[in-house]
């Protein structure tokens, strides 16, 4: 009997627990229309270029949104602590205002990342955004109330904002850790390919100037023959694992690059570094050499 009750409880938890709810959100098509429209509008508004790269976090080598979000959440959490401790209300107001001001670049960075995600990630991200917008509205109302001397209402509004913001933060965590949005999807080649040189394929089998995919043990490689030389990168794009060998080859400021076919991340062929996001991590590179019998050999590079 006890076992039955336990099994029922487990079933209920599996169906209504926070992870189960977030999983259901991933699969729900109910909000697909606004999701599609907003993602399109963001992509149209924030065109490829310096601003978009900065918002993605390309200059710092990792997504900009999570650290910015931590600043706002930290400010609002600290506001609640000060309120509970009955500290100087001016300090609470200052923290509240700092969190609100910081929410603007945080939202811009988050929206930019979100516009280039898979649909399942965008569904969760959409609710994450709605929760955070609601929380932001409550914190703003709280600041206004405090500035008008309505300290008690201001505190209540802050606590409500923190509650909704916690839901938003949970969904942000789900996106980052369950759905791997913002994570580096390029294989850790040093873990998957033993050190040293490995035979890849005969150079004569490769087309000139057109990238192809070749397997090396567990991983797939982007392989490009240029005359007697060969360029080899990990084939999975670090952004969301798009196939780089299907990408376009372009020249950017005199440097040969490949553009990912999925969301346009651009990597220098020379060293795999990111020229344009949304990817922020470089594509792993391989050193190459050609044996006398024409066999290409590769070994993991330093990036």
| Binding of ligand FES by 138 (CB under 6 A) | no
| String marking each residue 241-280 x if it binds ligand FES according to CB under 6 A | -x-----------------x-xxxx------------xx-
Nearest-angstrom CA–CA distance, 296 and 62: 33
Which of 181, 240, 258, 283 binds ligand FES (CB under 6 A)? It is 240
DSSP 47-83: -TTHHHHHHHTGGGTS-SHHHHHHHHHHHHHHHHHHH
Q: Cα–Cα–Cα angle for 68, 72, 282, nearest 5°? A: 15
How near is the Cβ of 279 to ligand FES at its closest, in Å?
6
By beta-carbon proximity to ligand FES, the closer residue of 121 and 158 is 121
Helix axes 151-173, 18-27, angle to 10 degrees: 70
By beta-carbon proximity to ligand FES, the closer residue of 131 and 273 is 273
How near is the Cβ of 247 to ligand FES at its closest, in Å?
8
| Helix, strand, coil tally for the chain in percent (to 5) | 55, 20, 30
By beta-carbon proximity to ligand FES, the closer residue of 76 and 262 is 262
How near is the Cβ of 215 to ligand FES at its closest, in Å?
19
Q: What secondary structure, in 3-state letters, does 119-139 show?
A: HHHHHHHHHHHHHHHHHHHHH
Comparing C-alpha atoms, which of 157, 131, 159 is closest to residue 142?
157
Which of 52, 214, 239, 275 binds ligand FES (CB under 6 A)? It is 239
The tokens describing 137, both together, are 């509205």
Nearest-angstrom CA–CA distance, 200 and 221: 10
By beta-carbon proximity to ligand FES, the closer residue of 75 and 240 is 240
How near is the Cβ of 60 to ligand FES at its closest, in Å?
18
By beta-carbon proximity to ligand FES, the closer residue of 158 and 184 is 184
Contacting residues toward ligand FES, per CB under 6 A: 237, 239-240, 242, 260, 262-265, 278-279
């Amino acid at each position: 009997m006890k076992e039955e009750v336990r099994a029922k409880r487990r079933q209920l938890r599996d169906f209504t627990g926070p992870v189960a709810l977030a999983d259901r959100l991933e699969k729900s098509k109910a909000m697909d229309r606004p999701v599609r429209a907003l993602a399109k509008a963001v992509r149209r508004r924030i065109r490829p270029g310096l601003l978009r790269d900065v918002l993605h976090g390309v200059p710092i080598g990792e997504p900009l949104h999570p650290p910015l979000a931590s600043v706002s959440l930290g400010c609002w959490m600290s506001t609640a602590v000060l309120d509970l401790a009955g500290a100087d209300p001016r300090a609470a107001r200052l923290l509240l205002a700092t969190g609100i001001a910081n929410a603007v670049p945080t939202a811009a960075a988050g929206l930019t990342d979100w516009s280039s995600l898979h649909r399942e990630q965008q569904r969760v991200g959409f609710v994450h955004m709605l929760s955070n917008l609601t929380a932001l509205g409550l914190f703003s109302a709280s600041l206004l109330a405090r500035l008008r001397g309505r300290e008690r209402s201001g505190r209540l509004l802050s606590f409500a904002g923190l509650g909704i913001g916690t839901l938003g933060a949970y969904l942000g965590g789900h996106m980052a850790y369950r759905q791997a949005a913002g994570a580096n999807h390029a294989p850790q080649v040093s873990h998957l390919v033993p050190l040293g040189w490995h035979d890849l394929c005969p150079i004569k089998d490769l087309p000139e100037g057109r990238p192809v995919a070749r397997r090396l043990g567990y991983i797939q490689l982007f392989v490009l023959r240029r005359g007697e030389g060969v360029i080899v990168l990990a084939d999975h794009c670090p952004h969301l694992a798009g196939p780089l060998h299907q990408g376009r080859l372009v020249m950017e400021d005199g440097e040969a690059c490949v553009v990912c076919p999925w969301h346009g991340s651009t990597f220098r062929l020379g060293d795999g570094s990111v020229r344009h996001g949304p990817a922020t991590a470089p594509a792993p590179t391989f050193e190459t050499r050609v044996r006398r019998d024409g066999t290409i050999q590769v070994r993991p590079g330093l990036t």
